[in-house]
Amino acid sequence: MPIAFPVPEAGTPILHEIDMAEWDDFDPRFTLRRELPDPSRVSLRPAGRLLSVELVPEPDMNPSRWYRGSMVLLAPGQWLRWQINYRIAHLRDGEWSYRLDTLNLAFGAIGVFGGTPSRFLDERTHLY
């Protein structure tokens, strides 16, 4: 599956979300909003001339992330790719599904999304 999609030209701030699910054959569904991410999911704070970014793990998802210490500082013109995965157990039959969240976040113009991210945090883990 792709970890990035073309970013529409829409000015800033821009929140471009793509959801893909196995039961939809991973057909991408796009939403575009001119707003910052939900602060309960992505914490953004000024830190002098830098931007402090923290991805907040989803509550009640497995595996739990007890220790993370995961906060990233971005300078203007930098961008971050952050990946975290989850196992979602279904109550009715015990089956589980996989979830992978990828946050691509730029501090500055959208055009910085070319090439390799300035920072990459990989919080993917074994799910069994």
Is the preceding omega at residue 63 within 30 degrees of 0, hence cis? yes
pLDDT at 1 over 60: no
The distance of Cα 62 from the centroid of its chain, to the nearest Å, equals 17
Domain extent at residue 110: 15-57+72-123
Question: Average of pLDDT values for 80-96?
Answer: 82
pLDDT at 4 over 70: no
Q: Could you tell me if residue 10 is inside a domain?
A: no
Exposure of 73 in the CB half-sphere (CA atoms within 13 A): 6
Through-space distance between the first and last CA atoms of the chain, rounded to whole angstroms: 21
Closest CA to 55 of 20, 99, 102: 102
> pLDDT class for 45, splitting at 50, 70, 90?
very high
Largest CA distance in the chain: 50
Q: Could you tell me if residue 62 is inside a domain?
A: no
pLDDT digits (tens, 9 = 90+) for 110-127: 677 777 889 998 888 877
Closest CA to 123 of 43, 57, 26, 52: 57
Q: Could you tell me if residue 6 is inside a domain?
A: no
Q: Could you tell me if residue 67 is inside a domain?
A: no
pLDDT at 38 over 80: yes
Distance, in Å, from the CA atom of 90 to the CA atom of 93, rounded to the nearest integer, reads 6
Percentage of the chain with pLDDT > 70?
A: 81
Question: Average of pLDDT values for 38-44?
Answer: 88
Q: Could you tell me if residue 101 is inside a domain?
A: yes
Q: Could you tell me if residue 92 is inside a domain?
A: yes
Q: Which pLDDT belongs to residue 105?
A: 85
Coil, strand or helix at 89: strand
Q: Could you tell me if residue 1 is inside a domain?
A: no
Structural domain count of the chain: 1
